[in-house]
């Protein structure tokens, strides 16, 4: 009876935490702290469901054990997939650091375990410490990636519904004045959002300056595409000075506020970039929500890894806070090693 009561209390606490997360998410999804709450919630929920099914369904526990045993194989497949994607990016997008993120991550999946085994094989206190540092750093990095990937997926699948006064489309590189498939995905998403409005008075703001290898500002090329798709001239506000995401947001907001002093902005970008755009808009104090357009599947892994690095850089305080348990574990190991006479 006491064990049943503990289980019921645990389930009730889990429900309360889910309600708290959903309430905060609907209030404002542009907070990376919610991602830090979501991952443990999902893991604990999965564990609770597995325990329940293991007790009710014969053989379910064996299935879970089999999956756990296959974890090394899953890691190998994951690493191989990253390397394959990195090579694909190399061939299709060229040799640039930003295009090789998945290749580098895939190589590390195989190299780090080998390096850790070699360090343990040395058998000295410093090699043990280095091996453990590698292990903890790898686990922390993997947790961060899963945390951001999970929250980005939730952010995309469950957008907070609202009305807006303008859709701001973040620019991307154009070729000979033509929009690329990447940029077309953003523009088509803005057209979809415009069609969802009950009234067709949504301002549409293509934003992007002219790069050194572009014939004209990105916003001008984007505006031409919008006109070809039936958007009226009165709806379009061109912002053609911005050079990065922060300028996209600042300059576009200033342009919109000349016409609409109040009201929410819809930020439209690629799916892999939507979460970071939303987080940036909150840091700037803008009343906005971010949406992502479709991106080619092969392009997403490297692009999202790049976004993870950028989000970690932009939220250093949260990263330090999340790293504390790993740091404490490392410090504990060093103390044990010292006390043991290594």
**How confident is the prediction along the chain (342 residues), in pLDDT tens digits per residue?**
677 677 778 789 989 999 999 999 999 999 999 999 999 999 999 888 888 787 777 777 777 778 777 778 888 888 888 888 888 888 887 777 777 788 888 888 888 888 888 888 887 777 877 888 888 888 888 899 999 999 999 999 998 878 899 999 999 889 988 999 999 999 999 999 998 876 668 899 999 998 888 889 999 999 999 999 989 898 999 999 999 999 999 999 999 999 988 889 999 999 999 999 999 999 999 999 999 999 988 888 888 999 999 999 999 999 999 988 877 877 777 677 666 655
Decide: 254 and 154 in contact? Cβ < 8 Å: no
- Own/partner contacts of 236-242, CB < 8 Å, gap of 24 or more, are 236/203, 236/204, 236/205, 236/206, 237/166, 237/203, 237/204, 237/205, 238/205, 238/206, 239/205, 239/206, 239/207, 239/208, 240/207, 240/208, 240/209, 240/210, 241/209, 241/217, 242/171, 242/207, 242/208, 242/209
Cα–Cα distance, 324 to 204 (Å, whole number)? 44
Orientation angle between helical segments 125-157 and 316-339, nearest 10 degrees: 150
pLDDT, residue 337, reads 64
Tokens of 87: 């090579």
Decide: 139 and 326 in contact? Cβ < 8 Å: yes
Q: Which of 115, 172, 127 is nearest to 292 (CA)?
A: 172
pLDDT, residue 199, reads 64
Provide the whole-model pTM. Answer: 0.89
Cα–Cα distance, 198 to 41 (Å, whole number)? 37
pLDDT, residue 328, reads 80
pLDDT, residue 57, reads 76
Orientation angle between helical segments 181-196 and 218-228, nearest 10 degrees: 50
Q: Which of 45, 57, 51 is nearest to 15 (CA)?
A: 45
pLDDT, residue 132, reads 81
Q: Where are the domains of the chain?
A: 2-69, 71-157+316-339, 166-295
Cα–Cα distance, 125 to 119 (Å, whole number)? 10
pLDDT, residue 119, reads 86
- What torsion do the CA atoms of 33, 34, 36, 39 make, to the nearest 10 degrees? -170
Q: φ, ψ for residue 64 (rounded to 5)?
A: -65, -40
Q: Which CATH architecture describes the domain 166-295?
A: 3-Layer(aba) Sandwich (3.40)
Burial of 313 per CB tally in 10 Å (0-12, 13-18, 19+): exposed
Burial of 18 per CB tally in 10 Å (0-12, 13-18, 19+): middle
pLDDT, residue 74, reads 83
Decide: 168 and 207 in contact? Cβ < 8 Å: yes
């Amino acid at each position: 009876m006491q064990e049943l009561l503990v289980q019921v209390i645990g389930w009730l606490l889990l429900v309360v935490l889910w309600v708290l997360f959903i309430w905060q998410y609907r209030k404002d999804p542009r907070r990376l702290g919610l991602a830090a709450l979501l991952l443990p919630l999902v893991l604990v929920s999965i564990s609770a469901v597995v325990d329940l099914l293991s007790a009710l369904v014969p053989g379910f526990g064996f299935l879970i054990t089999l999956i756990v045993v296959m974890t090394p194989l899953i890691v190998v497949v994951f690493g191989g997939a990253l390397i394959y994607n990195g090579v694909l990016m190399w061939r299709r997008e060229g040799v640039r650091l930003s295009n090789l993120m998945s290749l580098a991550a895939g190589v590390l999946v195989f190299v780090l375990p080998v390096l850790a085994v070699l360090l343990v094989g040395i058998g000295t206190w410093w090699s043990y410490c280095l091996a453990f540092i590698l292990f903890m750093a790898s686990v922390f990095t993997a947790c961060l990636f899963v945390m951001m990937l999970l929250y980005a997926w939730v952010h995309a699948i469950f957008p907070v519904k609202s009305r807006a006064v303008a859709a701001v489309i973040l620019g991307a590189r154009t070729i000979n004045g033509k929009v690329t498939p990447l940029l077309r995905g953003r523009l088509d998403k803005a057209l979809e959002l415009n069609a969802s409005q009950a009234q067709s008075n949504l301002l549409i703001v293509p934003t992007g300056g002219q790069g050194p290898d572009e014939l004209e500002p990105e916003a001008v090329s984007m505006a031409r595409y919008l006109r070809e798709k039936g958007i009226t001239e009165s709806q379009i506000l061109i912002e053609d000075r911005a050079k990065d995401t922060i300028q996209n947001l600042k300059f576009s907001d200033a342009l919109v506020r000349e016409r609409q002093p109040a009201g929410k902005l819809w930020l439209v970008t690629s799916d892999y970039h939507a979460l970071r755009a939303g987080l940036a808009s909150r840091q700037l104090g803008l009343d906005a929500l971010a949406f992502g357009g479709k991106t080619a599947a092969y392009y997403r892994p490297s692009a999202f890894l790049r976004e993870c690095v950028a989000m970690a850089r932009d939220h250093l305080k949260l990263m330090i806070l999340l790293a504390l348990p790993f740091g404490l574990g490392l410090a504990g190991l060093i103390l044990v090693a010292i006390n043991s006479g290594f």
